[in-house]
């Protein structure tokens, strides 16, 4: 009788382990992805290597307003409420250790925080509403003081900007006359351009991209533990990596799915009124994370509507390294944002559940 019970116990353990399967019973190893998008009508046909499984370690359900994303800076996890221009700094227990920011037009207020980075008790950010690059210092009690505020003159078209170093920053703006997107590095002490690079010139496009600020919309990524700055597109399978110490060293990359650049055009929504839109309007890459040499891209380019993360090694010119699935929660919540710290990935879900997973190589 003991032998029978032991056999049954071992059988149950083997079933629970499900070798070669993730939590959502997904296959590992090389998988062929081939399907046509229902909305986009894009035809995808590529191979993906599932080489990590995830093990859930921790889950916290928040009531933090409208948290839209999370980012990691070294070991520090930060969440953003864009509408409130507020950042939440989490401790290891995923409790809020302290917060930063107030929305408004005052001297110490922000109007849409973007491209932020936290390191050594300093916070840099791009205040999109005010078209301003700012730097803050935090004291031992995590109270902030404004150190620096550089406001772009006639900066209406400065959609994305990021600090590179103490005195330099990079921004991107469209060159509508030639349908191009320009990346420019500026020395803030002398207010002079150090370097310019256009998308058109970098990749040798055969046809100009109309309204590139929309078609190639994305955001800058940084992390104090990485020597790279990344511009990652939201609607197209494209990303650029710059060496932080020498941004002239650029790598232009396509994702393994090769999602094409969408078409941007003005659409009339009322007599005398038009609105710039893209087609298809699918946000194929809703979130991205940067940790050391690796860029992680959250996407839903799967034939079963699952979320997956593909990751790329920037030290190898953006070479694809592998993928892993992001599970839905038991109540059906799907992932909206990711951050990576070491061998852990943090996932923000639709209803503000924050889950920490361990990444296990398979």
What is the reported pLDDT for 17? 37
Q: Give the Cα separation of 228 and 199 in Å (integer).
A: 18
pLDDT tens across 230-243, in order?
999 999 999 999 99
Q: Give the Cα separation of 247 and 202 in Å (integer).
A: 13
Two structure tokens written together for 285: 């890459």
Let me know: does 61 contact 352? Beta carbons within 8 Å: yes
- Segment 132-140 mean pLDDT: 94
Find residue 295's DSSP bridge partners: 290, 312
pLDDT tens across 262-285, in order?
998 888 888 888 888 999 999 999
Average pLDDT over the chain reads 88
Q: Give the residue ranges of DSSP H helices in the chain.
A: 2-17, 199-203, 212-215
- Segment 74-86 mean pLDDT: 95
Inform me whether the pLDDT recorded for 155 exceeds 70: no
Q: Give the Cα separation of 357 and 344 in Å (integer).
A: 6
pLDDT tens across 252-262, in order?
999 999 999 99
Q: Give the Cα separation of 24 and 49 in Å (integer).
A: 16
What is the reported pLDDT for 25? 56
Q: Model confidence at 356, in pLDDT bands (50, 70, 90)?
A: very high
Two structure tokens written together for 243: 């060496």
Of 195, 198, 169, nearest to 181 by C-alpha is 198
């Amino acid at each position: 009788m003991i032998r029978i019970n032991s056999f049954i116990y071992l059988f149950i353990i083997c079933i629970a382990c499900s070798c070669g399967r993730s939590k959502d019973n997904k296959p590992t190893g090389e998988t062929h992805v081939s399907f046509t998008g229902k909305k986009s009508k894009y035809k995808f046909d590529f191979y993906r290597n599932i080489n990590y499984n995830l093990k859930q370690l921790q889950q916290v359900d928040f009531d933090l307003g409208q948290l839209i994303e999370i980012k990691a800076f070294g070991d520090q996890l930060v969440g953003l409420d864009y509408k409130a221009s507020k950042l939440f700094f989490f401790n290891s227990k995923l409790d809020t250790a302290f917060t930063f920011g107030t929305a408004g037009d005052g001297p110490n207020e922000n109007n849409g925080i973007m491209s932020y980075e936290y390191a050594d008790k300093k916070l840099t950010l791009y205040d999109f509403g005010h078209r301003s690059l700012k730097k803050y210092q935090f004291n031992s009690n995590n109270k902030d003081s404004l150190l620096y505020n550089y406001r772009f003159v006639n900066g209406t078209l400065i959609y994305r900007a990021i600090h590179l170093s103490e005195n330099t920053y990079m921004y991107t703006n469209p060159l509508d006359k030639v349908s191009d997107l320009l990346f420019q590095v500026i020395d803030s002490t002398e207010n002079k351009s150090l370097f310019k690079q256009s998308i058109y010139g970098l990749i040798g496009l055969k046809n100009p991209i109309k309204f590139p600020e929309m078609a190639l919309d994305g955001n800058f990524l940084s992390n104090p533990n990485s020597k790279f700055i990344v511009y990652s597109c939201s609607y197209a399978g494209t990303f650029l990596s710059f060496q932080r110490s020498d941004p002239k060293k650029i790598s232009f990359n396509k994702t393994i799915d090769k999602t094409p650049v969408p078409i941007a055009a003005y659409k009339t929504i009322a007599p005398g009124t038009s609105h710039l839109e893209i087609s298809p309007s699918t946000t194929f890459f809703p979130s991205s994370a940067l940790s050391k040499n690796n860029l992680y891209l959250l996407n839903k380019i799967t034939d079963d509507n699952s979320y997956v993360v593909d990751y790329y090694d920037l030290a190898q010119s953006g070479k694809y390294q592998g993928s892993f699935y992001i599970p839905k929660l038991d109540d059906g919540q799907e992932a909206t944002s990711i951050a990576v710290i070491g061998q852990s990935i943090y996932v923000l879900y639709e209803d503000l559940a924050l889950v920490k997973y361990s990444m296990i190589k398979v």
